[in-house]
């Protein structure tokens, strides 16, 4: 039996603009994880994928020809072919995840990363983070149509990532730990639809949106520098400005704006929506003194779930040490 895990992710700054060639910064969220287990199966079974969280049991051998392949099937097929193996291997792959779906936390990429690593490791192959990221990106195209590439990248590397689509990817270390509170609106954020709406708006008013994207890109540059130097005050101010620009792009929502305002009033250094918007999550940068108050305030203001996570100076892919179906928790639990 082989087990592999992958974290969630959150975009700190740069969403939407990253699709148009501007930089973005994303960080891993290790308090939520996807887990994949691979076991040898009896001869003739083929590959069975069981995802109880989704109520799915899939068989590569028995897939109906006229049914579009599920992303999990694409993930397994892709890694087996990459390894030079047959898709008729006899395997049982069990998948579970505590990464909320359609909330901007990279649930699809986390599951694909865990499955990709688990299958490769089962055949005694250690894929590089670059290889894993590339394989998962192909699956992301099914989820999001025109993905930025940031989800698969930050999750595969499990480090803060400075990313420019089609140009370069740079992982980096923070000079000082970032303490983030993530508030879930409880409203699904369909990435494909929101990205498509922004594209339509850009096509109608290119000059205005190019200016917005430029300003968001400049924020990402400043935030990376501030993170590396440990200047959390600047990171917070830039998060606030990024949220205002996302509001101008019409991707926020009354609930997101309300949660951002609540976090700021309770002392957050900065707060903004994260991900596609119109639902999903917001994030707040907090200090040790304000963390608990911000968490309680967000829960009272309507957040369905509140997670605390830390981005530490030394990060990287971690081992999945234990198998558990219980939700991942922070040191003081999940609100």
- pLDDT for 38 equals 97
User: Using CA atoms, how far apart are residues 219 and 17, in angstroms rounded to an integer?
Assistant: 11
Tokens 């990709």 -> residue: 116
Alpha-carbon span 254 to 259, nearest angstrom: 9
- pLDDT of 305 > 50? The answer is yes
Mean pLDDT of 176-183: 97
pLDDT band at 335 (very low <50, low <70, confident <90, very high): very low
pLDDT, tens digit (0-9, with 9 covering 90-100), for 23-75: 999 999 988 999 999 999 999 999 999 999 889 999 998 877 778 889 999 99
In the structure, what pLDDT confidence band is assigned to residue 328 with cuts at 50, 70 and 90? very low
Give me the torsion for CA of 47, 52, 55, 58, rounded to 10°: 0
List the one residue out of 39, 125, 42 whose CA is nearest residue 81: 125
Q: Which one of 40, 53, 66, 151 is the catalytic residue?
A: 151
Quickly count: other Cβ atoms within 10 Å of residue 266's Cβ.
21
Per-residue confidence (pLDDT) for residue 127, from 0 to 100:
95
The pLDDT of residue 250 is above 90: yes
Return left, alpha or beta for 267; rule: phi > 0 is left, psi -120 to 50 is alpha, else beta. left
Domain 2-311 has CATH 3.40.50.720: no
Q: Taking the CB of residue 144, how many other CB atoms lie within 10 A of it?
A: 19
Give the residue-averaged pLDDT of 242-256: 97
Interval 279-298: pLDDT, tens: 999 999 999 999 999 999 99
* Residue 256 C-alpha from the chain's centroid: 18
Mean pLDDT calculated for residue range 211-230? 98
pLDDT band at 151 (very low <50, low <70, confident <90, very high): confident
Record the tokens describing residue 216, joined without a space: 């968001």
At 254, list the tokens.
């009354």
CB 253 within 8 A of CB 269: no
- Give me the phi and psi of 121, to 5 degrees please: -65, -30
CB atoms within 10 A of CB 115: 31
Distances (CA, A) of 225 to 54, 211, 217, 220, 228: 40, 22, 13, 9, 5
What's the pLDDT score for residue 143?
Answer: 67
CB atoms within 10 A of CB 323: 12
* Residue 240 is a catalytic residue: no
- Neighbouring CB atoms inside 10 A of 250's CB total 13
Residue range 202-225: mean pLDDT, rounded: 98
Q: For residues 270 and 284, is the Cβ–Cβ distance under 8 A?
A: yes
Candidates 75, 7, 82; CA nearest to 38 is 75
pTM strictly above 0.85 = no
pLDDT score recorded for residue 183? 96
Among 312, 301, 294, 41, smallest CA distance to 182 is for 294
| Domain boundary assignment for the chain | 2-311
Average of pLDDT values for 181-198?
90
Q: How does pLDDT run across 228-248, given as a tens digit for each residue?
A: 999 999 999 999 999 999 999
Token pair in block for residue 232: 């959390």
Q: What would the mean pLDDT of 79-106 be, rounded to a whole number?
A: 91
């Amino acid at each position: 039996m082989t087990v592999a895990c992958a974290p969630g992710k959150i975009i700190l700054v740069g969403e939407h603009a990253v699709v148009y060639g501007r930089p973005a910064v994303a960080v891993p969220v290790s308090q939520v994880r996807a887990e994949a287990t691979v076991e040898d199966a009896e001869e003739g079974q083929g590959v069975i994928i069981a995802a109880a969280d989704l109520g799915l049991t899939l068989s590569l051998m028995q897939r109906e020809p006229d049914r579009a392949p599920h992303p999990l099937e694409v993930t397994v097929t892709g890694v087996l072919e990459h390894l030079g193996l047959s898709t008729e291997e006899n395997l049982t792959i069990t998948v579970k995840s505590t990464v909320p779906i359609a909330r901007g936390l990279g649930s699809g990429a986390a599951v694909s990363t865990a499955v990709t690593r688990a299958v490769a490791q089962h055949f005694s192959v250690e894929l590089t983070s670059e290889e894993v990221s590339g394989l998962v990106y192909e699956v992301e195209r099914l989820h999001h149509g025109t993905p930025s590439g940031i989800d698969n990248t930050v999750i595969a590397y499990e480090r803060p990532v400075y990313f420019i689509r089609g140009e370069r990817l740079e992982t980096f270390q923070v000079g000082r730990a970032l303490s983030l509170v993530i508030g879930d609106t409880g409203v699904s954020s369909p990435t494909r639809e929101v990205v498509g709406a922004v594209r339509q708006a850009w096509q109608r008013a290119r000059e205005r949106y190019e200016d917005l994207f430029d300003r968001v890109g400049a924020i990402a540059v400043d935030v990376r520098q501030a993170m590396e130097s440990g200047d959390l005050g600047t990171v917070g101010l830039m998060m606030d400005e990024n949220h205002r620009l996302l509001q101008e792009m019409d991707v926020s929502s009354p609930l997101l704006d309300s949660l951002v305002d609540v976090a700021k009033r309770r002392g957050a250094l900065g707060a903004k929506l994260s991900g596609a918007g119109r639902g999903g999550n917001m994030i707040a940068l907090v200090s040790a003194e304000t963390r608990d108050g911000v968490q309680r305030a967000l829960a009272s203001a309507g957040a369905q779930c509140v997670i605390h996570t830390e981005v530490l100076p030394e990060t990287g892919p971690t081992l999945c040490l234990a198998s558990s179906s219980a939700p991942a928790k922070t040191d003081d639990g999940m609100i």
